[in-house]
């Protein structure tokens, strides 16, 4: 099978041990895009055979992460499909049937070695400065010794009988042929003593049974990929296209870690990164359409995504670039769409009700244009809009009084501005701006000085959405009330002096 564009079947097969992190989500995106690009299917399979690492509730978190990114699976838990069940713990009979087949052919063998013996073997190898690994003790048992152990009822595992000579070639689509010397491979465990398969055995059986055409996974699996190729050869099955994806790297060029930002994808979504921005951004880590195109819609990514454009080298997680992407996508939203996305954050902050009323929605939709150009993530909205809902209860005079003015001059300027605003024929942004600009000339003040004093008086901060739009959003009466409170505050300073 080659990198053709016939319908592909890809799969994401996570272990339910935690959240879907940035690196894993990038893998999901590549798999999903390739399935969509070729008109194929994207399969979700839960690899829950490692019962020691199983985390209760992790499966639901994994599925929710993918759903929130808008990357629904075509087959898998919750949706079913022709190759159900899609949880490995429910497919044990299948693995045992296939294991029996390879046992009969001599490609697998039973191993009764205890954990204590295995530990001793590795300690002795370490002392001899040899690489760790099983010494194939049980592979070399005589028929009589094997029969005696069988009759004893002792627990055993089933190992792969790796050829002792020759080489195994993994034909990776991105890197080309990768050659491994068989003599350097370990006889890895395929079935554990509890009857559950290891990843190495189950992934091959399931990929074959589910007709997966492209095995796309992180390049950390390259080291053990010859074992998977061997299993395909032992079974006589057609191999999938092997696609080992480059790592997502931190700024220092090393594999991504939590220190670099490799946290759960839900952490990014909860903070207010848009799914469409994350999809676009992550698709470009290790893949590119051309030298210049970056912003692409979901449909454009599906149309343009091909495997030959995946780089063999890792791509860096650039959070500044992600912030840029998110800002672009936020500004592309309509006012109504952005309002809907902001309401949960505003509700959590207590600025609207848990189930916002029609009046609250309308009010937020009126305020959204104030902050849309400034938002980087949605979670910033409550702090940017809080000033509209909550008047300053006191004023920092170091902020209220411009550096080149004193308290008395500032107070007089705010008095004049209050009077001018009270007399306006209408409360429109253009009318407010025109009158206040003309007032600066009348008072002989610099525009920046008057406007900064007005901004602090109206909002309590030197940083806020655009001044005139903010005043318009506050309304005439609220704006005048706040200005008068600031004037009173300056009067108290004068009295104290």
pLDDT band at 1 (very low <50, low <70, confident <90, very high): very low
* Highest mean pLDDT of the ranges 25-29, 122-126, 249-253: 25-29
pLDDT average, residue stretch 389-416: 94
pLDDT average, residue stretch 22-49: 96
pLDDT band at 496 (very low <50, low <70, confident <90, very high): very low
**Residue positions counted in the chain:** 497
pLDDT average, residue stretch 153-167: 97
CATH 3.40.50.970 matches 334-389: no
DSSP 454-466: HHHHHHSSS--S-
Active site residue 258: yes
pLDDT average, residue stretch 442-448: 94
Furthest-apart CA pair in the chain: how many Å?
110
- Strand-pairing partners, residue 159, are 109, 189
- Annotated domain spans of the chain: 9-87+248-316, 91-199, 334-389, 397-496
pLDDT at 262: 60
pLDDT average, residue stretch 453-473: 93
Q: Taking the domain 91-199, which CATH number applies?
A: 3.90.800.10
Q: What is the pLDDT of residues 107-152, one digit of tens each?
A: 999 999 999 999 999 999 999 988 889 999 999 999 999 999 999 9
pLDDT average, residue stretch 19-45: 96
Same fold: 91-199 with 334-389:
no
**CB–CB of 217/203 below 8 Å?**
no
CATH fold of 9-87+248-316 reads: Rossmann fold (3.40.50)
Residue 259 has pLDDT above 80, yes or no: no
Q: What is the pLDDT of residues 335-365, one digit of tens each?
A: 999 999 999 999 999 999 999 999 999 999 9
pLDDT at 495: 44
pLDDT at 411: 95
User: Which H/E stretch holds residue 276?
Assistant: helix 275-283
Q: What is the pLDDT of residues 289-319, one digit of tens each?
A: 998 999 999 999 999 999 999 999 888 899 9
Annotated catalytic residue, options 258, 404, 446, 462:
258
Q: Which residues of 187-216 are buried (b: 16+ CB within 10 A; e: fewer)?
A: bbbbbbeeebbbbbbbbbbbbbebebbbbb
Q: Taking the domain 397-496, which CATH number applies?
A: 1.10.10.350
């Amino acid at each position: 099978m080659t990198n053709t564009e016939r319908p592909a079947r890809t799969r994401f097969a996570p272990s339910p041990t935690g959240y879907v992190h940035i690196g894993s989500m990038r893998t999901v995106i590549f798999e999903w895009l390739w399935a969509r690009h070729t008109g194929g299917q994207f399969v979700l399979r839960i690899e829950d055979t490692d019962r020691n690492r199983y985390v209760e509730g992790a499966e639901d978190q994994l599925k929710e992460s993918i759903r929130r990114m808008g990357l629904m699976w075509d087959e898998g838990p919750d949706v079913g499909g022709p190759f159900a069940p899609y949880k490995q713990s429910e497919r044990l009979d299948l693995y045992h049937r296939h294991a029996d087949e390879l046992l009969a052919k001599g490609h697998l063998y039973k191993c009764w070695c205890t954990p204590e013996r295995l530990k001793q073997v590795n300690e002795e190898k370490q002392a001899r400065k040899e690489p760790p690994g099983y010494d194939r003790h049980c592979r070399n048992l005589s028929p009589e010794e094997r029969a005696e152990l069988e009759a004893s009822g002792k627990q055993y595992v089933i190992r792969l009988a790796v050829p002792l000579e020759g080489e195994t070639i993994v034909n990776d689509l991105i890197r080309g042929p990768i050659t491994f010397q068989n003599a350097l491979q370990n006889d890895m465990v395929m079935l554990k003593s509890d009857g559950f398969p290891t990843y190495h055995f189950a992934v091959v059986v399931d990929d074959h049974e589910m007709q997966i055409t492209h095995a796309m996974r992180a390049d950390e699996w390259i080291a053990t990929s010859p074992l998977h190729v061997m299993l395909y050869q032992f079974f006589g099955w057609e191999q999938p296209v092997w696609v080992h994806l480059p790592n997502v790297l931190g700024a220092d060029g090393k594999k991504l870690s939590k220190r670099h930002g490799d946290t759960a994808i839900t952490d990014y979504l909860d903070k207010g990164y848009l799914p469409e921005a994350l999809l676009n951004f992550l698709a470009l880590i290790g893949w590119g359409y051309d030298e210049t195109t970056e912003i692409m819609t979901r449909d454009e990514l599906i149309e343009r995504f091909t495997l030959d454009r995946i780089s063999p080298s890792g791509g860096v997680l650039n959070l500044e670039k992600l912030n840029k992407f998110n800002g672009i996508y936020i500004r592309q939203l309509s006012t109504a769409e952005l309002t809907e996305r902001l309401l949960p954050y505003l509700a959590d902050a207590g600025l609207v009700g848990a189930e916002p009323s029609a009046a609250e929605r309308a009010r937020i939709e009126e305020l959204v244009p104030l902050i849309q150009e400034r938002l980087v993530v949605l979670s910033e909205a409550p702090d940017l809009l809080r000033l509209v809902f909550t008047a300053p209860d006191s004023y920092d005079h170091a902020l209220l009084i411009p550096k080149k003015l004193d308290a008395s001059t500032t107070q007089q300027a705010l008095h004049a501005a209050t009077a001018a605003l009270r007399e306006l024929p209408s409360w429109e942004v253009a009318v407010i701006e025109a009158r206040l600009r003309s007032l600066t000339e009348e008072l002989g003040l610099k525009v920046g000085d008057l406007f900064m004093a007005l901004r602090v008086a109206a909002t309590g901060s030197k940083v806020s959405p655009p001044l005139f739009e903010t005043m318009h959003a506050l309304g005439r009466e609220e704006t005048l009330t706040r200005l008068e409170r600031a004037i009173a505050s300056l009067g108290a300073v004068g009295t104290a002096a």
